[in-house]
Structure 1
Amino acid sequence: MNKPMIPAAKPIIGDDERRAVDRVLASGMVAQGPEVAEFEKEFSAQLAGSRECVAVNSGTSGQHLGLLASGVKPGDEVIVPSFTFAATANSVAVIGATPVFVDIDIDTFCIDPSAIEDAITDRTVGIQPVHLYGHPAAMDRILEIAKKHSLFVGEDAAQAHGAELNGQQVGTFGQWAMFSLYPTKNMTSGEGGMVSAEGPEIARTLRLLRNQGMEKQYANEIPGLNNRMTDIHAAIGRVQLTKLEEWTKRRQELAAHFDANLQGVVVPKVADGATHVYHQYTIRIDGASAQERDRFAQALREEHGVGCGVYYPTPVHRLPAFELELDLPNTEKAAREVLSLPVHPSVSDADRDRIVEAVNAVATAGA
């Protein structure tokens, strides 16, 4: 194979971002300051339905603070999907609470609402759905269940900037929502996260928690952490925010082309009323074992120069941190069969066509 590798993911950092960082460095104010405040306002207006937003130093920090702001304490239970990145459950566990793992809907890869109610106990305090790969979870049904059982809902929107369900943006359904700004996400601040809050009380608690529990210097109201975002990171995020709409459109164009032209694999489905933003374009090798899927991925990389990734090869409940024996058939099926193809905005039309040709050739060879 002499073709250049098409990377599975590619952060886009250009001159605009560099100039923004230089501006902050020249100002001499690099810690949390005016850039962070402006970034929060702009993010709120564009991606969070004008909900108050609180910038933090990582998506995981945002998730952790959201749970703390909801009053989660040791001994509580929070329902989460097992087919996700470990941070979803880690943020519950580090508090001393218990993540209760439930199955997913195999079509959307998001938490299965029908599995939630069976998992509720007298220790359950909340539900943490994940808008996986950029597809919104079934929030209408999840909110009904939460209301019935008096549970909070905290959205893991790490991969879903701009996704919608029935015209409503993700990040505006629950009491709070976390967006990741890690380099490979649909937009980045270099590293960081953003939390949208349902109301001023939660927002103020989040602000206290991220800043050592204080609003005024040395007037610590509650025990807190140092989870602040710097002005350097916020400046990068502000620039990226102006480009997100165009980048999302490109992701959706690429996904539509893949939908129409890939053969021999299961392309991702989009639920009625959902707007997918394709942080990942994830196919399934239907009926494959994990080893067969891995060989498929290896062929794409080595024979065709198409980068790809498996998100996620091991369900969270089976990781060494948790090691639970659970019957989650769709989760196990997804972990065996999923493979994510390049769908980032740097994928050219020529790259796109090569990806299609490669997938179809490998699928045909394995048929």
Structure 2
Amino acid sequence: MGTVGTLRSAGVRAGDEVVVPAFGSAEVAQAVVELGAVPVFADVDGDSYCLDPAAVADAVSSRTAAVVVVHRFGRPADMAWIREVGQRHGLLVLVEDEPGVRPEEAELRREHAGYLDGRLTGVRTPAPASGHAYEKYVVRVPGNGRPDRDAFARALRAKGVACRAPVQAPVYRVPGLRQDVFLPETERAVDETLALPLDAGMTRRSVQRMAGACNALGGLLQPAL
């Protein structure tokens, strides 16, 4: 049906406000605009990169009709708390899933992720969560935000690790969706996150080599004085 059809069938109409994530998922906000409704961007939780229930509650107004939740990087959002916020304010709670992975592939990804969790130093590894399928293995590079993250990524790519920044900009800076908004957790996530390659076809040896390449770059992670 697509996001537009889902919103329309749920009763969202032109002029309604819809709370959407500010980190990734520009297509969700674009669907809201296409319907004639107004996207209201809410900040994310710094561990899950999914909507922060407290931020959702802060974004609600008398015109809010719905909130669209997106599970991020294979990690489920905190649906219990978000649904509680929705019930409290009489909102529709809709869920948009990112492309998933097959169960057998998710299990292999979890094995690789568990190894990386225990071996990586100098970067912040993903917070553990039940049901995390690791569609992407996203670390955070501390220091000076984007300059340090980008330098780290360039050095890793030079070593053959095909890493990339998973989100290039907050959705509220995307052309056609621009709003005068600043959401701190979203800004930090955009500047610090780095997706390391992780798929079921990787061998343990290739995962070990990637961990070694990351750990060898520890000097890049020192905050500037």
TM-score between the two structures when normalised by the length of structure 1: 0.59
Distance in structure 1 (CA, Å) of the matches to 2:217 and 2:4: 42
Paired position in structure 1 for 2:82? 142
Equivalent runs, 1:101-180 vs 2, <5 Å? 101-159=41-99, 161=100
Aligned-partner SS, 1:128:
strand
Instruction: State the shift of 1:117 in Å.
Output: 1.2
Paired position in structure 2 for 1:266? 124
Bigger Rg over Cα: 1
* Alpha-carbon displacement from aligned partner over 1:144-187 (angstroms, at most 9, x marks no partner): 1111111111112114x4xxxxxxxxxxxxxxxxxxxxxxxx2x
- 1:280 equivalent to 2:136? Answer yes
Question: In structure 1, what residue type is equivalent to 2:210?
Answer: I
Distance in structure 1 (CA, Å) of the matches to 2:8 and 2:169: 27
Distance in structure 2 (CA, Å) of the matches to 1:287 and 1:324: 28
Instruction: State the shift of 1:253 in Å.
Output: 0.5
C-alpha change, 1:120 and 1:365, in structure 2 (3 Å) is closer
Question: What stretches of structure 1 move > 3 A for 4+ residues in a row?
Answer: 364-367
Distance in structure 2 (CA, Å) of the matches to 1:329 and 1:353: 34
Instruction: State the shift of 1:64 in Å.
Output: 2.1
- 1:299 equivalent to 2:146? Answer no
Aligned-partner SS, 1:133:
coil
- Work out the percentage of aligned pairs sharing the same amino acid: 37
Distance in structure 2 (CA, Å) of the matches to 1:131 and 1:110: 6
- 1:86 equivalent to 2:49? Answer no
Aligned-partner SS, 1:108:
coil
- 1:251 equivalent to 2:112? Answer no
- 1:344 equivalent to 2:196? Answer no
Equivalent runs, 1:1-367 vs 2, <5 Å? 62-159=2-99, 161=100, 186=101, 244-271=102-129, 274-302=130-158, 304-367=159-222
* Alpha-carbon displacement from aligned partner over 1:73-132 (angstroms, at most 9, x marks no partner): 211111011011311211111111111001111011111001111111111110111111
Equivalent pair of 1:84/1:130 in contact (CA under 8 Å): no
Instruction: State the shift of 1:364 in Å.
Output: 3.5
Equivalent pair of 1:133/1:281 in contact (CA under 8 Å): yes
TM-score between the two structures when normalised by the length of structure 2: 0.94
> How many residues matched?
222
Equivalent pair of 2:70/2:77 in contact (CA under 8 Å): yes
Distance in structure 2 (CA, Å) of the matches to 1:366 and 1:122: 45
C-alpha change, 1:365 and 1:125, in structure 2 (3 Å) is closer
Equivalent pair of 2:50/2:70 in contact (CA under 8 Å): yes
Instruction: State the shift of 1:327 in Å.
Output: 2.7
